[in-house]
Structure 1
Amino acid sequence: MSEEFPTPQLIDDLEEHPQHNNARVVKDLLAGTAGGIAQVLVGQPFDTTKVRLQVSSTPKTAMEVVKKLLANEGPRGFYKGTLTPLIGVGACVSLQFGVNEAMKRFFSPAQRK
Structure 2
Amino acid sequence: MGDNGQVSVDAVRLDNARKALNDERELVISERKALIDPVAGMFGGSARGEWLAGVVVKGHQNIDRSLGETAEGLKSTSDGIHEAMVALEGADVDAAVTAQKFASAVALMSNPLVIFDKAGPGKYLAV
Q: Larger Rg: 1 or 2?
A: 2
Taking structure 2 as the reference length, what is the TM-score of the superposition? 0.31
The alignment's TM-score, normalised by the length of structure 1, stands at: 0.34
State the structure with bigger RCO (CA 8 A, min sep 6), 1 or 2.
1
Write 1 or 2 for the structure with the bigger share of helix: 1
